[in-house]
Amino acid sequence: MSRYKINNLEEYFKEYKKSVREPKKFWDKIASENFTWYQEWSKVVDFNMADAEIKWFEDAKVNITKNCIDRHLAKKGDKTAIIFEPNDPTEEAQHISYTELHQRVSKMANVLRDQGIQKGDRVCIYLPMIPELAITTLACARIGAIHSVVFAGFSASAVATRINDSECKMVITSDGGYRGNKTIDLKGIVDEALTNTPCVEKVLVVKRTNTAIQMKDGRDQWLQPLLDQASDNNTAEIMDAEDPLFILYTSGSTGKPKGMVHTTAGYMVYTAYTFKNVFNYEDNDIFWCTADIGWITGHSYILYGPLLNGATTVIFEGVPSYPDFSRFWEIIEKHQVNQFYTAPTAIRALAKESLDYVQRFPLKSLKVIGSVGEPINEEAWHWYNDHVGDKRCPVVDTWWQTETGGIMISPIPFVTPTKPTYATLPLPGIQPVLMDEKRNEIEDNQVVGSLCIKFPWPGIARTIWGDHQRYKETYFSAFPGKYFTGDGALRDEVGYYRITGRVDDVVIVSGHNLGTAPIEDAINEHPAVAESAIVGFPHDVKGNALYGYVILKETGESRDRENLMREINQQISNQIGPIAKLDKIQFVSGLPKTRSGKIMRRILRKIAEGDFSNFGDTSTLLNPEIVEEIKNGKL
C-alpha cells in the first residue's frame, strides 16, 4: 500500500485539495495501484445521498483474503502475520506466519463449505481473542459468507437478538474464554441464546479452556477434528465489489441494535489505506491494537487493515490489569511493538495506577501511539504522551465510527502537529462539514456544529441489515444530501476538529452550545476527581442546565462536599467560562457503561430529569447495578 508523499502541513493541504477536487481520480489510483483484482471496476463511485445508495468500484471482482494473505506469500511467506499473546503471561506466545495463516484459513474455509455454508450465508462468530477468531472470520470472507462477529462479552439475549436479526445459519464459539483471572463460559451462553434461534443449524466449537460443556447432537461439533480432515487447498470465492463482507452490530446504546453492513471492495481499499497512513506503518513494524475483534476497531485495525498491508499484528487475549497494571507495557516490550493503538478508557484506568507500572519499561520500540472510541480528555492525552510516548511518538487521536469503516479524522504522524483532545484534520478523501441548527453549512472556523460528511468515501457502511429505511433515516435525513455522524464537533481557528461528543450530548444552556466533553475535561482535572459525566436537564430560565455525575478518587480521606462543588465549578469557570457551571452535582461510585466503555448518557439524563419510569434497554450495560445506586442517590 502506498503512503502519502507528504512531508509537512502545507503539502498535506495541497494533497487534500486534490482529493476533494477530483475524488474519483484520487480513489481510482489508490485502488488500482495497491490490490490484486480479478477484474477492475467500470465506475469508481456511484451515489445518491438522498436515497442512501452508495456504490464503489462497481463491477470489480475481488476476494479480500487473496489481498490479505495469498499475495504476500511469495515474498513474505515466512513473515509473522499474527502474534498471539495469551491472557496468561506464562503461556507461550504464538507466531503465525503468512504461510501458516494461509493454510489455516484455507482449511477453515473448506470446513465451512463442507458444513453447507455458501456465499451470502450469515455466520455468527462468538469467540474470545484467540487466533481462531481471526482465522474463522477470514475463512468466511474467503468463501463469501457474511461474518457477524459478536463481542464475546455480550449476554445470551444480546447474542440471540443479533443471530435472529441477520438469520445466521451457523455459530462458531469456544468451550470458554480467559479474561484476567476469570474463565467465561461462552458455550453455555451460546446454548442459552440458541433456545430461541430457529435459523441456526450448526455450531462449531473451538477448544480453549477445556471446560466441560454440553454438545447437542446433530447441532454441535468440535472444530479441531473437522480441521484435521480438511484439505488446505481452497479456491477463494470471486466476490463482487458490492457483495456484503460482514455485518457488525453497533453497541445499541439507543433502541434495537443496528446491523451495519460493510461491502467488499470499498472496505478493503479504505482500511488498507488508512492503516498505512495513520500509523505510518513500515515493512518490519509490529502493530498492536488492543481493541477486541468484536468491535469495528478490531475488524479494521487488528485484522483487515494490517493484513492487507502484509503487516505483523498482535492479538491479545487478556486485559490491561492482569496479572497487574503493567501488562500492556510488558507486552509492548516483549514483542517490540512499534505502533500501539488503544482507547481513552484504558488510558484513564492505567493512569490512575502507580507510574511505576509504565516506567519499569523503556518502550523504546514505540513510534506512533493512537487513541480511538471516545473523546480523549486533556489529562489522559498528556499522560499517554508523556509516559507512554515519551513525548517522542505522535499521538494519533483517530475519530471514526462503526459506520465509517475506517479512520476519518486524525493527525498524520510526523506531518500534522498534534493538539491535545483534537482529532485534528480530515484524511485526504474525507470531506467533513459542520452544520448549524437551521441545517446550513457553517463556513467559519471557531464554531461548534453537527458533524456531517458531504461526499462518500469507500469505507462507508452501505445499509442496515434488513432495514434500509432505518439507515436512510438515521444517517441521511437530518441533513439532506449529507451523511450525519451523530457527533458534534468544534472547529478551531486553523480548521482542526475536536469531537465534542454525540450531538445528543451537546447541551444548549442559555442559547450557548456546550459540548459535554470539554466540561468533563475541566472537572476531571480537579485533583480529587477520577471521572465525570455531564448531562442537561430542563431549566426554567436557561432552557437547559447542567447536571454532573462525579466519581471521586479513593484517597481514604473525607472531603467537604460543599467545598468540592465550589472548587469544581470554579475549575469549569476558569477553563470554559461561568456559562458551563453545573447547577447540580451528584457524587457517585460509578457510571453506567456499555461493554465498549461508553457512558450510557440516556440513563443519566433521565435520572437528572427525575424521570425514573423507563430506562429502556439496559441489557448491554457492563454494570447495571449502578443505575439503582445513582437513582437512589438522586431521590
Smallest CA-to-CA distance from 571 within 511, 530, 529 is with 529
Kindly state the smallest distance separating residue 459's Cβ from ligand WTA, in Å: 11
SS3 assignment, position 46: strand
CA distance 116 to 540: 63
In degrees and rounded to multiples of 5, residue 177 shows phi and psi of -145, 150
418 binding ligand WTA? (CB under 6 A): no
Q: Which of 171, 230, 296, 607 binds ligand WTA (CB under 6 A)?
A: 296
Let me know: does 411 contact 427? Beta carbons within 8 Å: no
- Of 502 and 581, which has the nearer Cβ to ligand WTA? 502
475 binding ligand WTA? (CB under 6 A): no
- Of 276 and 502, which has the nearer Cβ to ligand WTA? 502
Task: Return the DSSP state at 377.
Answer: P
424 binding ligand WTA? (CB under 6 A): no
CA distance 381 to 377: 6
CA distance 346 to 558: 27
Beta-carbon contacts of 387 under 8 Å, excluding residues fewer than 6 positions away, are 351, 355, 358, 359
Place of cell 487447498: 233
Which residues on neighbouring strands pair with residue 149, listed in sequence order? 125
426 binding ligand WTA? (CB under 6 A): no
Q: Counting beta carbons within 10 angstroms of the beta carbon of residue 413, is it exposed (0 to 12), middle (13 to 18) or buried (19 or more)?
A: buried
CA distance 551 to 528: 9
Q: Write down how long the chain is.
A: 635
Task: Identify which range of 63-71, 112-120, 393-401, 437-445 contacts ligand WTA by CB under 6 A.
Answer: 393-401
423 binding ligand WTA? (CB under 6 A): yes
Q: Taking the CA of residue 261 as centre, how many other CA atoms within 13 Å lie in the half-sphere pointing to its CB?
A: 23
Smallest CA-to-CA distance from 98 within 87, 83, 85, 86 is with 83
297 binding ligand WTA? (CB under 6 A): yes
C-alpha cell at 52: 442512501
Residues near ligand WTA (CB under 6 A), total: 21
How many C-beta neighbours within 10 Å does residue 48 have? 12
Cis amide leading into 417 (omega within 30): no
Q: Which of 165, 397, 520, 531 binds ligand WTA (CB under 6 A)?
A: 397
x/- letters, 83..122, toward ligand WTA (CB under 6 A): ----------------------------------------
Q: Which of 373, 389, 413, 458 binds ligand WTA (CB under 6 A)?
A: 373
449 binding ligand WTA? (CB under 6 A): no
402 binding ligand WTA? (CB under 6 A): yes
Task: Identify which range of 189-197, 391-399, 520-528, 621-629 contacts ligand WTA by CB under 6 A.
Answer: 391-399
166 binding ligand WTA? (CB under 6 A): no
CA distance 98 to 110: 18
x/- letters, 559..598, toward ligand WTA (CB under 6 A): -------------------------------------x--
C-alpha cell at 356: 511505576
Q: Which of 102, 142, 299, 502 binds ligand WTA (CB under 6 A)?
A: 502
CA distance 542 to 58: 52
460 binding ligand WTA? (CB under 6 A): no
Kindly state the smallest distance separating residue 215's Cβ from ligand WTA, in Å: 34
250 binding ligand WTA? (CB under 6 A): yes
487 binding ligand WTA? (CB under 6 A): yes
- Of 219 and 470, which has the nearer Cβ to ligand WTA? 470
270 binding ligand WTA? (CB under 6 A): no
Q: Which of 267, 399, 476, 483 binds ligand WTA (CB under 6 A)?
A: 399
- Of 107 and 598, which has the nearer Cβ to ligand WTA? 598
Beta-carbon contacts of 586 under 8 Å, excluding residues fewer than 6 positions away, are 547, 548, 549, 550, 630, 633, 634
400 binding ligand WTA? (CB under 6 A): yes
Task: Identify which range of 97-105, 270-278, 481-489, 547-555 contacts ligand WTA by CB under 6 A.
Answer: 481-489
Are β-strands 529-539 and 543-552 bridged in parallel, bridged antiparallel, or unpaired?
antiparallel
Task: Identify which range of 97-105, 331-339, 396-404, 569-577 contacts ligand WTA by CB under 6 A.
Answer: 396-404
499 binding ligand WTA? (CB under 6 A): yes
**Which residues sit at the interface with ligand WTA, rule CB under 6 A?**
250, 295-297, 372-375, 397-402, 423, 485-487, 499, 502, 596
